[in-house]
Amino acid sequence: MFLTFEGVDFSGKTTQARLLVDRLSREQAICSLREPGGTQISERIREILLDRKHLELTDEAEFLLFSASRAQLVREVIRPALQRGETVICDRYYDSSTVYQGYGRGLNLHSIRAINAFATGNLVPDLTIFVDIPVEEIDRRKSAAGKGYDRMESSGREFFERVRAGYCALCADEPDRVLRVDGMRPVETIHREILDIVARKTGIHQQSL
């Protein structure tokens, strides 16, 4: 089983991914990952991508670096874990490229989809949870966090509006795989809903989760 979490920056998806990992790892072997990263090579690529000094990075190079990081992660970690029968939970995957580089930056969506398929060897998640918050909430949470922003988080409001619209389009295009949860509710409420969705998908009764 391969599960991914998606959402805009500050949506709370990382918290939800962690809660799900903690819950599921009581009963089964879980491989927990984040993108970009997860292998030595992918972590090096992550440093290039998030470095605020790299203002000259072109949109195309940015997309290909995310894809390179993912190509490495799929072959070095994700596929072997799935083959061992583990459940893989990944914080971001190729949907992030479709919405951030495609909808957000405006790169050609056909090219993005083709390269996503190539980079992952057509490995599609069984389930993708999209934790959704309104874009105004990003600003509120950013100022509450009060820390410096990485290169991606420094993008403007219109950018995040397009990213959010991209996620909503994915939910409409692939309703069986990409499911939206409302990220404005309390953490525990969202967690219960995600457990419910996972239980339905895996056919496991929630009490035993």
**H or E segment and range at residue 98:** none
Q: Is residue 132 within the footprint of ligand TYD (CB under 6 A)? A: no
What is the number of other CB atoms lying within 10 angstroms of the CB of residue 49? 18
**What gap in Å lies between CA 79 and CA 102, rounded to an integer?**
26
Assign 11 to helix, strand or coil. Answer: coil
In angstroms, give the least distance from the CB of 8 to ligand TYD: 7
Residue 55 or 205 having the CB closest to ligand TYD: 55
For ligand TYD, the binding residues in 59-78 under the rule CB under 6 A are 66
Strands (E), 85-169: 87-91, 127-132
**Paired residues of 4 in beta bridges:** 90, 128
- Residue from the set 32, 97, 120, 128 that interacts with ligand TYD by CB under 6 A: 97
Give one word for 98, left, alpha or beta, with left for phi > 0 and alpha for psi -120 to 50: alpha
Residue 94 or 198 having the CB closest to ligand TYD: 94
Residue 30 or 119 having the CB closest to ligand TYD: 119
Q: Which stretch binds ligand TYD (CB under 6 A): 29-37, 73-81, 137-145, 198-206?
A: 29-37
Q: Which stretches of the chain bind ligand TYD, using CB under 6 A?
A: 9, 14, 34-36, 50, 66, 91-92, 96-97, 100-101, 150, 152-153
